A and B are shown apart, each in its own frame.
Chain A
């Protein structure tokens, strides 16, 4: 008998496929493309970390770990958070090791969202936030930050969208795709509004290690915010470990207990070999992280100044490894610009609108590429702009 129904759920049917996908397919089919579209480090994971993983495999550590992750790793994460960000979490029941920050986000949202709850998403944003809110049964409520404010969330914008159904706010600093960093004072202003409306904050701090110009402030380090924050971080960006799929959640006991229920039934535990590697990363990786950070900062300085010189106005992003220049002077949409740049000069960038409405008029360029590639990309973009 023929299938007669649509078997795919309504929630999933309504999800839009990621706008990045189309570009990926196009760029992947071409030769000689310089890709500034990659949202991950160009460094290979430091050798000492890879070596620690190999050793764990040789020793036969291939079974499941505790649901929340290896005790030794949780202790290291707890120490790391205290040492680097001055936030305290009990490794016994406030830290969960996850399959990337991605799973951490999913688990967090599912743990807190009731059907119809609203979750504020600050756009332009990482492409997964809104779909994850929807999948958890919630309603994503976008806020549009603006180039005028270097894409920093203005606290009053929260007030404009808060309703009695608002449950939580997702913030991400340093931000993907804009590179914007919120400093302590700006976070305090946000904290004030969060408290006033009794909201929860999911703070995605995956780029915290890559903050170039000022001391990084972790959201739960702000007065009274620890109790209403789910902190998400991981190893992908700072430690150059994207393929290992390892992240973590740190949250007050009641949240962590709820999240662990989901994690234990859906994931059991994060990959064991990656967990052993992560212990090495936290114990001995600081110098490698510092070295990589320095290299990103130099490339950022070069790339952003060069963009401005060729006529694409771009603020200096405080963190992550993205430049988010305006292409409004060309009169094109982000999509037209990105498509023509790819077809005519073989430089792949991501059109800003895929990260939210306020990303229109901008493109995301990752400067996590070799200096030679960045120099060549600038030459090609210059030629492209001169031809317009």
Chain B
């Protein structure tokens, strides 16, 4: 699908700030509110805009700190469906947040979130390793999130400029 420059601008703005008011956005790209609405509707229907999600810093919420792990998974691809079938079996689990097919030393990179390390260990040993095509797994627990999807968590973003300058 080929997008115009303004459509790309709108997608980029929403990608950074999904709650940007439409009238503000319309001014920023010099279009009318209804034109922007039409573009967004079109892009949603075409699934170019897939979802509006929120980046949450769960560490700040008592009892919801949680654990995230990245698991390197080696699998045997299947004739005809390659990696897709096993990838699907994995991503259907709701605790799996993302699944990527990778080049390099392993095949699938799986990101999983759980309430505790033992919960994740349980998932790996009971659900993941037991899948027929899975050859091996290596689990890495995330110790601290500095930046996620382009957003820095603890940003010291105060304005250091002097208030009036030539």
**CB within 8 Å of B: which residues of A?**
18, 20, 23-24, 27-28, 33, 35, 37-40, 42, 126-128, 176, 294, 298-299, 301-302, 305-306, 348, 350, 369, 371, 375
A23 touching B27, Cβ below 8 Å? no
A298 touching B164, Cβ below 8 Å? no
Interface-lining segment among B42-50, B57-65, B78-86, B155-163: B155-163
**Alpha-carbon distance between A302 and B27 when the two chains are bound, in angstroms:** 5
16 A-B contacts (beta carbon < 8 Å):
A20-B164, A23-B164, A24-B165, A27-B164, A28-B163, A33-B163, A39-B165, A126-B166, A127-B166, A128-B166, A176-B166, A301-B28, A301-B30, A302-B24, A369-B159, A375-B24
Interface residues of B, dominant DSSP:
loop
Contacts of A24 in B (CB 8 A): 162-165
**Alpha-carbon distance between A301 and B159 when the two chains are bound, in angstroms:** 22
A37 touching B13, Cβ below 8 Å? no
CB-contact partner of B166 in A18, A298, A302, A306, under 8 A: A18
Map CB proximity to A onto B1-37 as digits: 1 under 8 Å, 0 otherwise.
Answer: 0000000010001000000100010011110000000
Contacts of A40 in B (CB 8 A): 161, 165
A298 touching B28, Cβ below 8 Å? yes
**Alpha-carbon distance between A42 and B24 when the two chains are bound, in angstroms:** 20
Q: What is the size category of the interface that chain B forms with chain A? A: 10 to 19
Q: Most chain-B Cβ atoms within 10 A of its Cβ — which of A35, A42, A306, A369?
A: A35
B29 touching A27, Cβ below 8 Å? no
Contacts of A305 in B (CB 8 A): 27, 30
Q: Most chain-A Cβ atoms within 10 A of its Cβ — which of B9, B29, B30, B166?
A: B166
Contacts of A299 in B (CB 8 A): 28
A350 touching B164, Cβ below 8 Å? yes
Residue of A nearest to B28 (CB): A298
B161 touching A42, Cβ below 8 Å? yes
Q: How far is the CB of A371 from chain B (nearest CB, A)?
A: 7
